[in-house]
Amino acid sequence: MTAPTPLDGVDVVLADLDGVVYKGKGAIDHAVDALNRAAGEGHAVAYITNNASRTDVQVADHLSSFGLSVSPHDVVTSPQAAVRLLVDLVAPNSKILVVGGEGLTSEVEKAGFTVVREASDQPAAVIQGFSPDVGWKHLAEASFALHTGIPWVATNTDWTIPVEGGIAPGNGTLVSAVHTAVGTLPVVGGKPERAIFDAAVARFGAKQPIFIGDRLDTDIVGANKAGMRSIHVLTGIDGPKQLIAADKDSRPTFILDDLRGLFEPYPALELSKDGATATVGAAVVRIRGNDVELVKPGESSVNRLRAACGLIWASGRPIYGLTVAPQLYS
């Protein structure tokens, strides 16, 4: 019997952007063809992003420039998820102090709220998202307003954000600055919280969704919180070392080299009765004492990684107590 593929039974494919679809200015090899093929085979394909600085229209235009067929409706942003939370916290048509740019203000206004920028306007809540133009004055106004005890919603708390020049401080650092001043924490709409996943499921009526990501701490943790299956693709931030060391909340359902693997039979993990040996395809890995050893390399580095992850995760042993053969993660 042929093993199922990761997409078997899936009705909605939800994909992260940076590290999954593109890296820098270019599309990642095979990503566009694979996502277009998934759509052509009857799966709804949508995109989830924590980026709060761009509107859904801007994101859709960017993705379309790579050759993907994407409309704004297919894009679920952290501002959209944050505003869904906001609706349950304040009265309709309230004034909202916004710390952020167009990607956030546009969603606040779509929901019928009035955007204000100063605490003296007596807002009903503060909503905060990343924009490169956010400065001390904006953070100070949020602090002044929050000291009155009003609700605080953040689009996301990512510590870093990839930009043209490299890795820069993300919204999490700005949220932390306000937290230091006010002593409270916001409710959060974006990954790894489940609000953004719930928003996507509701929008597409998903019954069997699957999420594709490249970061364990936001993508995979978030999918697990939302109770959906996940795919970790090795084209972005986290690689084999991070997967092998992943805690139980950070472990994906599937591990793929690239998105061509969406359509390939996914090999089963076979554990020996004593739990000391794992086989995936022709790759065999075992634990002997504190050593995780490669017994048979097989033909595929990703199968070696799958076997190592399956064995270590099933063992229940902490990674810091094990010595892992470099061939399993290099």
Q: Can you read off the two tokens belonging to residue 327?
A: 């061939």
Q: Is 25 left (phi over 0), alpha (psi -120 to 50) or beta?
A: alpha
Spatial distance between the Cα atoms of 71 and 78, rounded to a whole number of angstroms: 17
Active site residue 16: yes
Q: Can you read off the two tokens belonging to residue 49?
A: 């992003």
Catalytic residue among 11, 16, 33, 249: 16
Looking up tokens 């090795």, which residue turns up?
Answer: 234
Evaluated on CA atoms 197, 198, 204, 210, the torsion sign reads positive
Active site residue 18: yes
Type of residue at 1? M
Closest CA to 308 of 238, 244, 213: 244
Spatial distance between the Cα atoms of 244 and 297, rounded to a whole number of angstroms: 17
Task: Give the 3-state secondary structure percentages of the chain, helix then strand then coil, rounded to 5.
Answer: 35, 25, 40
Catalytic residue among 11, 18, 56, 249: 18
Q: What is the distance, to the nearest Å, from the Cα of residue 312 to the centroid of all Cα atoms in its chain?
A: 24
Catalytic residues: 16, 18
